[in-house]
Amino acid sequence: MRERRVGFESLSNSRFGIGLALGVSRATPPSVGHWLARGVAGRLVRNPDSPMIRAYRANQWMASGRTLSGEELDDAVRETIATSGRFLYDVYHLPEGREPLMRAIVVNDDFERLLRAPDNGPVVFAGVHLGNFDLMGWALSYSGLKAQTLSVSDPNGGYQWQNELRKKAGMEITPVSIEALKQAARCLRDGGSVLTGLDRPQPDVAEDRRPRFFGEPSNAPLLHVRLAMRAKVPVVVLSSFLRPDGRYEAIASDPIPMESADQIENAERCLSFAEQIIRRAPTQWAMPHAVWPQIVAP
């Protein structure tokens, strides 16, 4: 049984799995798609020994202020995975093009401010995997925001397909590499903007390179801070969340200047805003990787 569950988890991250999810999403109405997402979540959460479930448990425990345990923590993990599945469904169910996408989001002050950000000079956007981050990225791209997007360095089949869909929305996707980082530095120097992740953890981080996140040293990345410090530009932390009416709303910080000469201090100021927005909707924080590898949830 355990091998089948691990295989199912691997399938969900494969090119075939993403293609299957795309096909199912296009062919089913929302009521069925959201029900299927909950069914998948119920199946995945039955394997507490899988790295993904352990990561979700630790992440949800930390986001709760270490208050959840037992059935409450199980329920939070199940809800987080179900919500993550819903986010994928909502992205893949939409017909291609700007108009259907814009009906799925709320164009609020934060959304408008993100579109105006490059007019005030180059900026590094750092995204939190909260809410439907992909859908919001597509909406911003369709609305005219131009930014070089740095994605995972070695994308598997599922990530490659997702990147292809992002490109269709007009996003410039560059997997992290030496050349991509040089391109990002040139982009910022020439007045452009760069988008990267704030909370996808890095492996094997040295103890003195671990910024505090929810009060504990974490493996949160420093790439956005390094880029911003080198270019002498601010960081804008952004994400989105699902509203009760089923639409998605952007959240964005004010520009955060890189005031310190210490990367960790600057990173922690960005993470502080991430903490605030994650606390607003913790089960919408769709981060399936262990941000705190030293933490084991009860």
Predicted confidence at residue 279, as pLDDT, reads 96
What integer best gives the mean pLDDT of the chain? 85
In the beta sheet, which residues pair with residue 196? Answer: 126
Of 18, 8, 66, nearest to 39 by C-alpha is 8
In the beta sheet, which residues pair with residue 127? Answer: 197, 238
Q: What value does the mean pLDDT take over residues 99-127?
A: 92
Is the per-residue pLDDT at 156 higher than 60? no
For residue 31, the Cα-to-chain-centroid distance in whole angstroms is: 24
CA dihedral 111, 138, 151, 287 (to 10 degrees): 70
- Kindly report, residue by residue over 165-214, the tens digit of the pLDDT: 666 666 788 889 999 999 999 999 999 999 999 999 998 888 889 999 99
For residue 152, the Cα-to-chain-centroid distance in whole angstroms is: 12
Residue 224 banded pLDDT, cuts 50, 70, 90? very high
Q: What percent of the chain has pLDDT over 70?
A: 85
Distance, in Å, from the CA atom of 35 to the CA atom of 96, rounded to the nearest integer, reads 23
- Kindly report, residue by residue over 60-74, the tens digit of the pLDDT: 999 999 999 889 999
Burial code of 55-88, b = ≥16 C-beta within 10 A, e = fewer? bbbbbbbbbbeeebeeeebbebbbbbbbbbbbbb
Distance, in Å, from the CA atom of 126 to the CA atom of 3, rounded to the nearest integer, reads 36
Predicted confidence at residue 169, as pLDDT, reads 64
> Could you give phi then psi for residue 241, rounded to 5 degrees?
-145, 155
- Kindly report, residue by residue over 195-206, the tens digit of the pLDDT: 999 999 998 888
